[in-house]
Amino acid sequence: MRFDDLFDDLEGQLEQELHAEEADLRIEGERLRLGRLGLRDRLIALARERPSGAVTALRLELVGGTVVVVRPTTFGKDWLAGDLIDGSPWHPQGIVPLAAVAALLLDRAQVDPSLEPATAPPGRLIDRIGLPFVLRDLGRRRSSVELITATGSLHGTIDRVGRDQLDLAVHEAGTPRRDRAVRQYRVVPFAHLRLVRLAG
């Protein structure tokens, strides 16, 4: 055997082993990245503006089985907000606590984009804003809301927000919050909150 052939053979084997090792490292790195991927990350990846300028509408099954379609506009620490696509002409807006999402319903074309790495700059202020802060702001504005909970639907105005619950002054939809219009006061734990629909 000639030395040239031997060295060419050894060089080929070494190069093949190096490429295999690099491929294994890439595969393992991707497994680690996917292992750190949270539901919020996947929702954000799907909601990115596409080259066409459109934002993907997300189909979410909420705890309890209700399915909502939302075109996200904002993601907080533990919630998302956006336009609810429900067939109504005025496209109501809503807030979905991430803890209320039982499943993200995807078609085959959405699976790979949902796994794409995040491109948003880390450390944005909105990423740290939790659900209680947003609900307190709705209460401060005296916004009329519809709460979808584990037991049904409630119309009213948020009076105050605690660490894990809110007080809702229940009144007829479309009427302003006045003491004489309030039928009851409900304390609603966040754990039972599925959707906050903003009154139009």
Tokens of 60: 């979410």
Pairing of strands 193-198, 93-97: antiparallel
How would residue 124 be classed by pLDDT, with cut points 50, 70 and 90?
confident
How would residue 66 be classed by pLDDT, with cut points 50, 70 and 90?
very high
Average pLDDT, the chain: 86
pLDDT of residue 1: 53
How would residue 100 be classed by pLDDT, with cut points 50, 70 and 90?
very high
Helix and strand counts by DSSP (H, E) for the chain? 4, 10
Query: Half-sphere exposure (CA, 13 Å, Cβ side) for 43?
Result: 26
Is residue 196 within 8 Å of 94, Cβ to Cβ? yes
Is residue 196 within 8 Å of 64, Cβ to Cβ? no
Instruction: Choose the most confident range, by mean pLDDT, from 5-14, 71-80, 89-98.
Output: 71-80
Pick the more confident residue, 120 or 129: 129
Instruction: Tabulate helix, strand, coil % of the chain (nearest 5).
Output: 35, 35, 30
Is residue 80 within 8 Å of 72, Cβ to Cβ? yes
Tokens of 184: 């009851």
Instruction: Choose the most confident range, by mean pLDDT, from 53-57, 109-113, 159-163.
Output: 159-163
Q: Report if pTM > 0.95.
A: no
Alpha carbon 110 to its chain's center: 15
Instruction: Choose the most confident range, by mean pLDDT, from 18-22, 93-97, 175-179.
Output: 93-97
Cα angle 66, 91, 131 (rounded to 5 degrees) comes to 60
Is residue 198 within 8 Å of 148, Cβ to Cβ? no
- Burial (0-12, 13-18, 19+ Cβ within 10 Å), 194: buried
Pick the more confident residue, 55 or 53: 55
